[in-house]
Amino acid sequence: MADPAGTGRHRLAELTAAATAAEVPPAGLCRDLALAYERAGDPAAAVRWALATTDAGGDLTCWTAAAGVLRRASAGAAASAVSPGVAASAGVAASAGVAVPARAAVAAAVGGAVVPSPVAGHAARSARVAVLGSYTTAQLAALLPLAAARAGVAVEVYECGYGQYRQEVLDPGSGLYRFGPDVVILAVHEGEAALPALAEDPERAVAAEVGRWTSLWEIIISRLDARVIQHTFVVPETEALGHLALRTPGSRSSMLAAVNAALGRAAAGGQVAFVDCERLAATVGKRSWFDPRYWHRAKQAVSLAHVPALARHTAAVLGAQLGTSRKCLVLDLDNTLWGGVLGEEGLAGIALGDGPVGEAFSAFQEYIGQLRARGVILAVCSKNNEADAREAFERHPAMRLRLDDIAMFSASWEDKPTQIRRIASTLGIGLDSLVFVDDNPAEREVVRQLVPEVDVIALPRDPHGYVRAVADYPFFEPAALTTEDTARTEQYRARARAAELAASASSLEEFHRGLEMVATVVPLDELTLPRVVQLIGKTNQFNLTTRRRGEAEVAELAADPSTAVICVRLADRFADHGLVAVVIARRATEPVGAVLDVDTWLMSCRVIGRTLEDEIAGLIVAEARRLGCSSVRGHYLPTAKNALVADLYSRLGFRPDPAAPADAGRAAPAGGPGVAPADGTGAGATRWVLPVASALNRPGLIRVVDARAGGAAVASASVRTMEEVAG
């Protein structure tokens, strides 16, 4: 008699053995393992392999099967066995708080080694996403939950009817409005652009086309309070004017390029992002991107072979908008930043700068430098003598990267997982913020096994391919570029130096005093608004309510005279950390009197534990007095990542609000990071009150300057403590 269970175990062992033979198993093998684990009744492993499919390339068939595994795992109430970032499907926006088993644990079940989940331990955001297309988008909508899960976002997807995007946006009674999306994806193609083949007045034609799309953005943002992600127009490779089109502003191809550029400029506000389909199409070849057979038969504007790539990049942009992008690139040195082994070749013997191989390493360093310049944190993780490794940065004439570019320099003979954990701890970021690059497959493998939260990029053998390998990794996608982003390396280097100071201090108070911290309260204006919105969108750990608000909504709240907005910069003797804290509070009139209700309170993780929260509490009380309030009311809405602030209000002297809803304080379900409900009554929510007459016990370790117009009357040359500012 057949033994289905035994046959299944044998099949899993065969597939696992095949996967072990390749560092990055092919997509077809990942799909087969996902299906095999699903049949074996292990949804966690099945989803892990489904997500691995997205990193292995793969065609539409592989992705569709993997997306089906993810969908069934969610629909089958398997969330309790799936890691955050995994439980996502069309119609289901769920995630659990249980980490996926490590590679060794899964290997024990089948007698071999398996590749761990790319998002093991990576908590998800959840979002409702509407796909509004000008062409057939069924495949894109079906694959988006899979791609989004890999990017750390659990999504529920709504898809409009074919070509109905404009009608759905304009009709308040449409399914789009009933769905209530957090993000709207405008999946449009160049055929939808209302541009002639040749225009007599190209500037007017371009302006009109840009106006058509920006007006849609304005409606989506104002009516739905949703973010917008628009696919850019792909300029067709067929052009009747041939090469003459390049110097003919009225040609359709020239105008399409101009529209793309103008839309980019128009979206500077922050609630509109793009997927650069023009660049994606150029990468794979425009004749491959658009196949007329698909268009004429099924109105597919993107060839089915490239829909997975479109879904992957759309999800990367979505993740960036919701704050799930990776932050830090961890770099090996020998044969990664230069050719050869420094300890064996000596400084003069490494390949860097001269010759084809040396130029390849120089080009790689230059690209890494470009990532640093736009906000990616760089760290070094090397098995090397530290003095020798540092000397290469200081003395080699062909080094493109310098020590000042490196936020954390770890060179020792410890194993790399240990070094990586220390890097994350010192910089104060999660392991799920790190991406590891090393030329050695064995080092990459041990990091995958022992630190599965870290993404690992498989470098090719040939250093000429290093730049492309890192450039093809999509999860460094930035949401915006602010002055804080460009200064991020110095800020994290300062954090590392502060860690050294902490190690030498005899007490925590001595350490904090030694930092010589100064907090500056700054106005919310056109210069600070982008950073405030960025913090609201991505801050998880120190965030009392995790309410996400776009630029327009924040600006509208700030314009209300009954609303207090507190924006705080922090500097110490090592660095200016930039704008790191935001409070939004609204005056409410109630039977007990006027109350200042704290809607949003968050701080960047880079300044957690420095007593800034105590000083901000004093500022909040000062604002309550200014607005004539007798008390301050705070809310704590628990998520999977903000347990850090669960006791903040009680520690600051607040007391439970006796008028809180009856269900406040009931236990929150396991996992489910989500987004806090606007009414403050989510599972596990608590409310707290503090009379403004109460004395706050503030450490007084941070000096405060109020730089707002009319704020606290602080002289420009003086610095006052929180006690003075708060009265």
Confidence at residue 572, expressed as pLDDT on a 0 to 100 scale = 85
d(CA 521, CA 498): 23
3-state secondary structure of 577: strand
d(CA 580, CA 487): 13
Nearest to residue 234, comparing CAs of 193, 265, 278, 201? 278
Confidence at residue 495, expressed as pLDDT on a 0 to 100 scale = 62
How far from 356 is each of 341, 365, 462, 469, 524, CA to CA, in Å?
Answer: 18, 14, 11, 18, 51
Q: 372: which 2 tokens?
A: 């640093």
- pTM exceeding the 0.95 threshold for the entire prediction: no
Confidence at residue 123, expressed as pLDDT on a 0 to 100 scale = 39
Q: 701: which 2 tokens?
A: 């370790």
Dihedral angle of Cα 183, 51, 29, 293, to the nearest 10 degrees = 0
Confidence at residue 516, expressed as pLDDT on a 0 to 100 scale = 84
Q: 359: which 2 tokens?
A: 């130029």
579-597 per-position pLDDT tens digit: 999 999 999 988 878 999 9
Contact residues for 237 (Cβ-Cβ < 8 A; gap 6+): 286, 287
d(CA 97, CA 79): 9
Confidence at residue 117, expressed as pLDDT on a 0 to 100 scale = 36
Residue ranges, the chain, pLDDT below 70:
1-7, 77-124, 268-269, 481-508, 662-683, 709-727
User: Kindly report the CA angle at 420 between 415 and 423, in degrees rounded to 5?
Assistant: 130
Q: 481: which 2 tokens?
A: 């570029």
HSE of 520 in the Cβ direction (CA atoms, 13 Å)?
19
144-195 per-position pLDDT tens digit: 999 999 999 999 999 999 999 999 999 999 999 999 999 999 999 999 999 9
**C-beta atoms surrounding 642 within 10 Å:** 22
d(CA 317, CA 479): 7
CB contact at 8 A, 52 and 16: no
- Position of tokens 């236990």? 667
Please report the sign of the dihedral spanned by the C-alpha atoms of residue 494, residue 500, residue 503, residue 505: negative
CB contact at 8 A, 553 and 559: no
Confidence at residue 720, expressed as pLDDT on a 0 to 100 scale = 37
Q: 125: which 2 tokens?
A: 């955001």
Angle formed by the axes of helices 138-150 and 43-55, nearest 10°: 110
How far from 657 is each of 18, 631, 634, CA to CA, in Å?
Answer: 59, 11, 9
Distance from the Cα of residue 532 to its chain's centroid: 16
Q: 135: which 2 tokens?
A: 């062409």
d(CA 703, CA 726): 12
User: Kindly report the CA angle at 694 between 572 and 561, in degrees rounded to 5?
Assistant: 75
Tell me how long the chain is. 727
Confidence at residue 502, expressed as pLDDT on a 0 to 100 scale = 58
d(CA 320, CA 474): 10
d(CA 338, CA 332): 10
CB contact at 8 A, 404 and 515: no
Distance from the Cα of residue 504 to its chain's centroid: 34
CB contact at 8 A, 357 and 336: no
Burial of residue 608 (number of CB atoms within 10 Å: 0-12, 13-18, 19+): middle
Confidence at residue 504, expressed as pLDDT on a 0 to 100 scale = 58
CB contact at 8 A, 269 and 214: no
Q: What DSSP element (H or E) covers 373? A: helix 355-373
Confidence at residue 75, expressed as pLDDT on a 0 to 100 scale = 80
Q: 300: which 2 tokens?
A: 């597919």
Q: 77: which 2 tokens?
A: 């109430």
